[in-house]
């Protein structure tokens, strides 16, 4: 019996030692670093949560940097610890990731919103731009640039995101057909690589790193500063919505609009299932009269499609803009009785999702699971996709907005890390679903995830050539398939700028150090 007790004690000691060896002694090493900001080793739970509300990975520490040097010092410290260290680093902006991409299990999360250096500075002139911190929110950039009568060219639909976060993906919205995504409107970056090096890069200076980081999913470096291109800002927006019964007509009109000049400044499409996309669309807004008219429209249970258009203008040009809008609308084949129009200030239009966010938060419906699925579908396959998905998979109800609109590939720089379909025009299709945590029905997380899998399987079986936007995969094979011909270039860039696999642990494309093999 004594021997048995001794064996058990020895075994427990062995297990404890193994656990201790696997957990890095972070506090003792990080506390020695000379930084202007500070580490928090206790209040870290907020960094184990994101907008997706599906994953929770607790870090050992959260860095609140005051300068770029703080970030570089931390990453370099971990780099010098070598491959034996299990420490990883995740840059967290506004926490809008969907599947734990901005989290670091037993690692270090960098609170990028603490980084206020350099101070935002707007440069006017013939080629205006703004220099901003990678942790700055786009809504703050909008407010500051508007003081100079300027604004960025390309946006996302939600502006309460950080610059570094959107540039690490692409940044797509209804302006992308004309100006491309946000990664096509950046002139220069400052990046902290996985070795802790601070590098300035642009199209002409350290261009390989510049294009690697843009759309690079955080794999090659942390964006600490960006130079964003600007243009003169309008004061007002004329917002138009029209409905379609037929997808072919709907898509044909969208494709015509993005192919001609002097048309609308913003073009997005929505799928309407049992009118949920029309009346409960938290990404749009109607004027007080429109919901009444919309509710009177009888869809008879059909799936409809909504085309949302915006024309920017200044008040003194209103008559001219109205004429241009009516001329453009006359060429569309929408349902004549479903024309909804409103005029709103430019800033109100761009920040409209935040208004809906405030309402949803007041009802406790914002911080719920968001099992979103974002796809890029080649133009030649979009009709087959529509028939398969909206005809067979999503038929009765929608748990959130479904976006579907085309963009021109020519507006994207093919040197970036973003992965796109192999056609000149492709569609963004975004299923922006919300789940009720306790529900077991169609609005529950299990049902929605099952639905997402069916959509992906349909794309695979149909040979649609779809690519995921904001991708997340669990196996190396899936990542290789996602990147396709770009895989080897992606691998080479990773081995150059983050050879130990320190960065972006929540988006695990490569394993640390020893697993770098093709």
Active site residues: 96, 157, 268
CA–CA dist 217, 198 (Å, integer): 18
* Nearest alpha carbon to residue 413 among 84, 229, 49, 170: 170
Residue the block writes with tokens 């700028």: 497
Report the alpha-carbon distance of residue 402 to residue 269 in Å, rounded.
Answer: 8
Both tokens of 104, joined, read: 């670091």
67-86 b/e (C-beta count within 10 Å ≥ 16 → b): bbbbbbbbbbbbbeeeeebb
**Residue 244, CA distances (Å) to 277, 291, 295, 296, 303 in order:** 13, 17, 16, 16, 9
394 in Cβ contact with 159 (< 8 Å): no
Distance from CA of residue 141 to its chain's centroid?
A: 17
| DSSP class of 316 | G
Please enumerate in sequence order all residues whose Cβ is within 8 A of that of 254, keeping only pairs 6 or more positions apart, or say none.
267, 269, 307, 405, 406
Instruction: Say how far apart CA 477 and CA 484 lie, in whole Å.
Output: 10
Q: The tokens of 244 are what?
A: 């379609």
Signed CA dihedral, 409, 414, 417, 420: sign only: positive
Q: Are 156 and 171 in contact (CB under 8 A)?
A: yes
Distance between CA atoms of residues 184 and 180, nearest Å: 6
Plot region of 39 (φ>0 → left; ψ -120 to 50 → alpha; else → beta) = beta
Q: Looking at 45-191, list the stretches that DSSP marks H as alpha helix, in order from N- to C-terminal side.
A: 68-81, 138-146, 163-167, 176-179
End-to-end CA distance of the chain: 53
Spatial separation of the C-alpha atoms in residues 195 and 73, rounded to whole Å: 10
Tokens for 426, please give them: 């492709």
Q: Which residues contact 233 (CB under 8 A, 6 or more apart)?
A: 145, 146, 149, 150, 151, 346
Instruction: Name the DSSP letter for residue 135.
Output: T
Tokens of 372: 């979103």
Question: Which residues have a Cβ under 8 Å from the Cβ of 267 and sit 6 or more positions away?
Answer: 174, 177, 254, 257, 258, 307, 308, 309, 405
237: phi > 0 → left, psi -120 to 50 → alpha, else beta; which? beta
Closest CA to 66 of 115, 118, 121: 115
């Amino acid at each position: 019996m004594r021997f048995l007790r001794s064996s058990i004690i020895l075994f427990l000691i062995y297990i404890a030692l193994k656990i201790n060896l696997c957990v890095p002694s972070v506090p003792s090493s990080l506390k020695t670093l000379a930084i202007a900001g500070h580490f928090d080793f206790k209040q870290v739970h907020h960094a184990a949560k994101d907008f997706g509300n599906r994953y929770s990975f607790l870090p050992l520490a959260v860095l609140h940097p005051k300068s770029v040097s703080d970030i570089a010092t931390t990453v370099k410290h971990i780099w010098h610890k070598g491959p034996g260290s299990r420490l990883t680093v995740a840059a967290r902006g506004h926490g809008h990731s969907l599947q734990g991409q901005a989290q670091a299990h037993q690692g270090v999360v960098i609170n990028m919103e603490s980084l206020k250096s350099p101070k935002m500075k707007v440069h006017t002139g013939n080629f205006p731009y703004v220099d901003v911190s990678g942790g700055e929110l786009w809504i703050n950039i909008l407010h500051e640039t508007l003081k100079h009568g300027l604004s960025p060219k390309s946006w996302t639909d939600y502006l309460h995101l950080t610059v570094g976060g959107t540039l690490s993906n692409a940044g797509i919205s209804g302006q992308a057909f004309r100006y491309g995504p946000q990664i096509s409107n950046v002139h220069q970056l400052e990046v902290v690589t996985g070795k802790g090096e601070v590098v300035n890069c642009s199209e002409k200076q350290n261009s390989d790193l510049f294009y690697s980081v843009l759309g690079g999913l955080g794999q090659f470096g942390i964006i600490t500063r960006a130079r964003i291109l600007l243009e003169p800002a309008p004061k007002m927006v004329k917002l138009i919505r029209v409905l379609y019964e037929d997808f072919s007509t709907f898509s044909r009109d969208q494709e015509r609009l993005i192919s001609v000049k002097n048309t609308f400044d913003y073009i997005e499409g929505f799928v309407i299932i049992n009118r949920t996309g029309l009346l409960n669309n938290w990404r749009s807004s109607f004027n007080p009269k429109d919901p009444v008219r919309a509710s009177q429209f009888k869809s008879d249970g059909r799936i409809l499609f909504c085309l949302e258009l915006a024309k920017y203008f200044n008040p003194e040009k209103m008559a001219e803009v109205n004429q241009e809008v009516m001329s453009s609308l006359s060429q569309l084949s929408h349902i004549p009785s479903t024309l909804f129009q409103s005029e709103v200030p430019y800033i109100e239009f761009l920040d409209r999702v935040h208004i809906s966010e405030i309402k949803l938060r007041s009802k406790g419906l914002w911080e719920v699971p968001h099992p979103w699925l974002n796809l890029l579908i080649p133009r030649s396959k979009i009709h087959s996709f529509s028939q398969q998905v909206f005809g067979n998979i999503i038929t009765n109800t929608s748990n959130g907005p479904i976006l579907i609109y085309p963009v021109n590939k020519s507006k994207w720089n093919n040197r970036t890390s973003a992965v796109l379909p192999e056609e000149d025009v492709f569609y963004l299709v975004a299923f922006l679903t919300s789940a009720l945590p306790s529900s077991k029905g169609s609005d529950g997380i299990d049902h929605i995830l099952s639905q997402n899998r069916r959509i992906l399987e349909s794309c695979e079986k149909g040979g649609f050539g779809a690519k995921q936007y904001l991708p997340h995969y669990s196996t190396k094979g899936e990542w290789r398939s996602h990147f396709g011909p770009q895989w080897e270039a992606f691998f080479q860039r990773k081995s150059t700028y983050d050879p130990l696999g320190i960065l972006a642990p929540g988006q695990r494309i490569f394993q640390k150090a020893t697993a770098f093999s093709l």
